[in-house]
Amino acid sequence: MRLKASTVITVFLFSGLILLTQVAAEEGYQLIAREIHNQYRAIHHVSALNSDEDLHNRAVMCAQYYATIRTINHSCPFKNGAGENLWAQRGGNPTNDDVARNSSNSWYSEEPLHNYNAQFTPATGHFTQMVWKNSLNFGFGVARLNFGFGLGNMVVGCALYSPQGNVIGQFQDNVIPP
């Protein structure tokens, strides 16, 4: 954050457009999540996801929203039509990088359960969104809630994808066997 602030001041002198792209830098944990996604997507013969600043910002807002309501029920009002994968953990003190790794790996762990001949397999919806061919842009956010009173904490990871995946009727075209 300190680095970014100085970058902003410097580039502001030159151009508002450059300022926007500098502020829009992908955070390290967001890059970790995207790279893990892209390693798995390569196994399924689909293109890498692009970093999307608007989706990163929305994913952070959604993670904060779910931490506030203390449940991950896909009701975030800031998704703007994007597909969404959610992950939550109670207890422990994972860093943002830990959340990026563990959420992404847990979503992919559904792969052995997937029926590649089916439209939507209920147990594999995180996996199918992750490797969905037509999803091209990616955002990732983390938020924490401390319950107070010694009751521990909750950590939320949220990934957003556009265009949205898991479209009934399009599974065979978008979820490619390894």
Ligand X SMILES: *[C@@H]1O[C@H](CO)[C@@H](O)[C@H](O)[C@H]1NC(C)=O
Nearer to ligand X by Cβ, of 73 and 117: the residue is 73
Nearer to ligand X by Cβ, of 94 and 141: the residue is 94
Strands 50-51 and 137-146: parallel
From candidates 75, 80, 115, 119, binder to ligand X by CB under 6 A: 75
From candidates 94, 139, 157, 165, binder to ligand X by CB under 6 A: 94
Nearer to ligand X by Cβ, of 15 and 105: the residue is 105
**Using rule CB under 6 A, residue 68 touches ligand X:** no
Which residues lie below 8 Å from residue 148, measured CB to CB, with a gap of 6+?
A: none
**Using rule CB under 6 A, residue 6 touches ligand X:** no
Collapsing DSSP to helix, strand or coil, 45 comes out as: coil
What is the CA 99 to chain-centroid distance, rounded? 10
**Using rule CB under 6 A, residue 98 touches ligand X:** yes
Q: Look-up: residue for tokens 């931490």?
A: 67
137 and 153 in contact (C-beta within 8 Å)?
no
Nearer to ligand X by Cβ, of 107 and 171: the residue is 107
Cis peptide before 177 (omega within 30 of 0): no
Instruction: Please give the residues from 114 up to 173 whose contact with ligand X meets the rule CB under 6 A.
Output: none
Number of H helices, E strands in the chain: 7, 4
**Using rule CB under 6 A, residue 109 touches ligand X:** no
29-37, 56-64, 94-102, 134-142 -> range binding ligand X (CB under 6 A)? 94-102
Q: Provide the minimum distance between the beta carbon of 36 and ligand X in the complex, in angstroms, as a whole number.
A: 12
Sheet holding 137-146, edge to edge: 50-51, 137-146, 153-162, 83-90
What is the Cα–Cα distance from 13 to 20, expressed in whole angstroms? 13
Q: Provide the minimum distance between the beta carbon of 143 and ligand X in the complex, in angstroms, as a whole number.
A: 15
Q: Provide the minimum distance between the beta carbon of 162 and ligand X in the complex, in angstroms, as a whole number.
A: 20
Interaction site with ligand X (CB under 6 A): 69, 71, 73, 75, 92, 94, 98, 102
